[in-house]
Amino acid sequence: MRALVQRVSEAAVRVDGETLGEIGPGLLILVCAMQGDDDGKPRALAEKLSKLRIFKDEAGKMNRSLKDVGGEALVVSQFTLAADLRGNRPGFSTAAPPAEGERLYERFAEEVAALGIPTQRGRFGADMKVSLVNDGPVTIWVEV
């Protein structure tokens, strides 16, 4: 699985004008299941992101995790993270097939929530509008 993680002071996802998920300080997690990902990947990614020390401590150093700061997570599916850019038009053949991608995406969001992190999510396959205030900015690419 691949994720693009952004430390945010707030973020929201909307579909057709309806807010599906909205968080305060925490992580916006754009996630993509890849071909060959197994059932262990969502848990491994959730655990890795919950412990990622990208929040400031008392000294202003990035030394605290999402769990340490009591932050929230907004999980949004984004198959375009599988983009193959060999030419000018991206290909997405390395993304998991839609049904498998949706299952792994939902499983990932459940795993994040099971770690005690308040979790909101988008809608798999929908045309979503994501808004955020990137804190820092801090944006990190993660693969498991």
Which domains does the chain possess?
Answer: 2-135 (3.50.80.10)
Cβ atoms of 6 and 139 within 8 Å: the answer is: yes
pLDDT in tens, 115-134: 999 999 999 999 999 999 99
Structure pTM? 0.95
Catalytic residue, chosen from 55, 79, 108, 124, is 79
Is residue 80 annotated as a catalytic residue, yes or no?
Answer: yes
**d(C-alpha 63, C-alpha 75), whole Å:** 22
Q: Count of CB atoms within 10 A of residue 96's CB? A: 21
State residue 44's pLDDT score. Answer: 98
Cβ-count burial of 38 within 10 angstroms (0-12 exposed, 13-18 middle, 19+ buried)? exposed
Is pLDDT above 90 for 86?
A: no
pLDDT in tens, 32-49: 999 999 999 999 999 999
